[in-house]
A = this chain, B = another copy of it.
Amino acid sequence: MASSDRRGPYICGIDAAMDVVSGKWKSLILWELANYGTRRFGELKRGLPGVSEKMLIQHLREMEQDGLLHREVYREVPPKVEYALTEHGRSLNEALGPLGEWGQRRAERLAAEGTPPPA
């Protein structure tokens, strides 16, 4: 278990939701699955440049336990596992929509105001 052992008493709805999306790659996983519908482990890894296999599987497991995504295992010779959002995952992604737009505007604002990424 990593950060998933909170499920604590929540002050308000926000941190109940944050408890589920906090984690460096979770929102990106959500975004990836929402766009592509279904993705394999390797596809996700390639789609998230810089993620380690450990963090990817860890986040995937936590999100599965949280009922956000479904994990389908195909018992074939080359192992194959597919991940897809559940209804809960899709609803979370929709709830994240306005926040994404806000962040988008913010990013554009930062770029315009002369705070370009140093590298």
Residues on A facing B (Cβ under 8 Å):
7-22, 27-28, 30-31, 91-92, 94-107, 110, 115, 117, 119
Contact check, B27 vs A117: say whether CB atoms are below 8 A apart.
Answer: no
> Which of B14, B21, B104 is the one whose CB lies under 8 Å from A13?
B104
Q: A12-B104, A96-B99 are in contact. List 16 more A-B contacts (CB 8 A).
A: A7-B110, A7-B117, A11-B31, A12-B28, A13-B106, A14-B99, A14-B100, A14-B103, A15-B28, A16-B107, A17-B100, A22-B22, A91-B102, A94-B98, A96-B98, A98-B98
Closest 9 A/B residue pairs (Cβ)? A17-B103, A13-B104, A16-B103, A13-B103, A95-B102, A13-B100, A95-B98, A14-B27, A9-B117
Contact check, A27 vs B7: say whether CB atoms are below 8 A apart.
Answer: no
Report Cα–Cα, A91/B99, bound state, in Å.
10
Contact check, A101 vs B95: say whether CB atoms are below 8 A apart.
Answer: yes
Rounded to whole Å, the gap between the CB of A16 and the closest CB of chain B is 3
> Which of B9, B15, B104 is the one whose CB lies under 8 Å from A119?
B9
Rounded to whole Å, the gap between the CB of A112 and the closest CB of chain B is 14
